[in-house]
Amino acid sequence: MSKYDKLVTNAAGRIVPTIINGKEAIPFMGVGKFKTAGRKAAPPLTSCADYPADGNKVIASLKEALVRCGLKDGMTISSHHHFRNGDLVAPQVFDAAKELGVKNLMWFPSASFPCHEPLIKYLEDGTIDHIEGSMNGALGRFTSEGRMKGLGVLRSHGGRYQAVQDGEVHIDVAVIAAPSADPFGNANGVNGPAACGLLGFALADSQYADKVIVVTDNLVPFPCIPWQIQGNYVDYVVVLDQIGIPEKIISGTTEVTKSPDRLLLAEWSARFCDEVGLIYDGFSFQAGAGGTALSIGIFFADILRERGWKARFARGGSNKYLVKMLEEGLTEYILDGQTFDLEGVRSMRDNPSHVNTSPFTSYNYHGKGNFSTLVDVVILGATEVDVHFNANVVTHSDGMLLHGIGGWQNCLFGKTVILPVPLFRDRNPVIREEVTTLCGPGELIDVIVTERGIAVNPRRTDLIEKMKGSSLPIKTIRELKEEAEKICGVPEQPILTDEIVAVIKWVDGTVLDSVYKVT
């Protein structure tokens, strides 16, 4: 079986395969164009009579649990990324699979991190065929070099839910690492040594997988409350000494930036929002975990406080800064998809206004609406933006795949999407003639804020009108590109092979772009 076949040019003008790992795929047709029919996928019927009446589903080891799940060659194993770079479970799952001699598995994580680099040996020896989810850092490099056996598939958080719900991806075994669980399989993320806040990314896995294993290092007597993961979906419970490294769970880009250039981006982004009237009493916003985005949140908080206003809700990833806003009364709710620090975990545990959400409520294409479309201001990042406002978040300008999509594509559906990005990083211009990899169509991206000027998408005539006479430096995206090239020089296009190593899925499951092998 070849990794892919039958290339076509999709509605975005990108060449994509329509056969991916032996299965048919639909090319991107335009934003909101693809409609689907049929019924949702569902796991097989079970009988409670087959499960222990005393509710004790604890099994001695991961390996035994996998055996009982009937793990076979070619199956799909899923895991969540709430432990971020502190995940100790996924590598052990594949250690066990290797010991069992199982081959050609598909790993279906909600995201991958540097801690998953040890899985490369299983990609090399055939235990794992390919990854669908995200391929970060070393795994991305491995993929870019064309060394993964199957074709990589990158999906957004919402796209993962969509793929599970419409049966595009069938999870044979879901492994859910849970900071707290009881022997029946009820589980949560707010208590225990590996507390990570919530387990929203594992919800779909628990409900749609054929077999579900909960893995914990904090087994409590029934009932485990709260029970975000419900034991009625769970087949087996495995207890390990340690499932996550706390300081790596709470990690990464969760401090406000000290970089003066990024602070300037944050300040200008907030000023822009204020000048066009996006900030009002009762507004809503989502700012990600990056240092610049966090700083924008702080500028928003300052504006709200000064005027005696409050946000109706702030969309998490939550962190101590957002929690402070909640506790100070500057936002009424945090609707949270993942918690980035211990303050976020504490607040989610103790404060009913800090609400856990899943990609189903906020991002899923098969939902009857998504609340991502209700968010007034969304702040996102990008590795590249092109003159048509298209953006890339997965590859660098040299073509190397290094990041996942996360919730980025789903957030593009917010009312106003702002990308604060430097005009160039060292000598890498961020604004290009054409993005190396298309992850988000320009029609959904409204404003690019750089340290040398702000470009507004010509589609947003309302914003352009409101910024007339502003003291902020409003420029066209082409002017910004030329300014970058004057400083850095005109970059050469990377010479990539025509061999596809991964595809980018759009939120509706269609294929948006291809990632090529680097030379």
Strand partners, 107: 77, 131
| CA–CA distance, 113 with 42 (Å, rounded to integer) | 29
Dihedral of CA atoms 448, 449, 451, 454 in degrees, nearest 10, equals: 80
Whether 343 contacts 319, CB under 8 Å: yes
State the residues that interact with another protein by CB under 8 A.
260-261, 263-264, 397-399, 425-428, 451-452, 471, 487-489, 491-492, 494-495
* Residue nearer to another protein on the CB measure, 401 or 411: 401
* Residue nearer to another protein on the CB measure, 226 or 494: 494
Backbone angles phi, psi at 86, to 5 degrees: -110, 20
- Output the smallest distance, CB 397 to another protein, in A: 6
Residue entry with tokens 């958080």: 157
* Residue nearer to another protein on the CB measure, 146 or 491: 491
* Residue nearer to another protein on the CB measure, 218 or 292: 292
- Output the smallest distance, CB 146 to another protein, in A: 16
- Output the smallest distance, CB 495 to another protein, in A: 8
Count of CA atoms in the C-beta half-sphere (13 A) of 382: 36
- Output the smallest distance, CB 378 to another protein, in A: 25
- Output the smallest distance, CB 304 to another protein, in A: 20
* Residue nearer to another protein on the CB measure, 121 or 452: 452
Dihedral of CA atoms 115, 120, 126, 128 in degrees, nearest 10, equals: 30
Nearest Cα neighbor of 356 from 158, 197, 246, 192 is 197
Dihedral of CA atoms 323, 325, 327, 329 in degrees, nearest 10, equals: -150
Whether 88 contacts 242, CB under 8 Å: yes
| CA–CA distance, 350 with 374 (Å, rounded to integer) | 26
- Output the smallest distance, CB 408 to another protein, in A: 24
Q: Which helix (H) or strand (E) holds 386?
A: strand 384-386
* Residue nearer to another protein on the CB measure, 253 or 428: 428
Residue entry with tokens 């978040």: 393
- Output the smallest distance, CB 136 to another protein, in A: 19
* Residue nearer to another protein on the CB measure, 202 or 431: 431
| CA–CA distance, 445 with 443 (Å, rounded to integer) | 6
Whether 93 contacts 175, CB under 8 Å: yes
- Output the smallest distance, CB 454 to another protein, in A: 13
* Residue nearer to another protein on the CB measure, 351 or 428: 428
Burial category of 32 from C-beta neighbours within 10 Å (exposed 0-12, middle 13-18, buried 19 and up): exposed
- Output the smallest distance, CB 120 to another protein, in A: 23
* Residue nearer to another protein on the CB measure, 88 or 484: 484
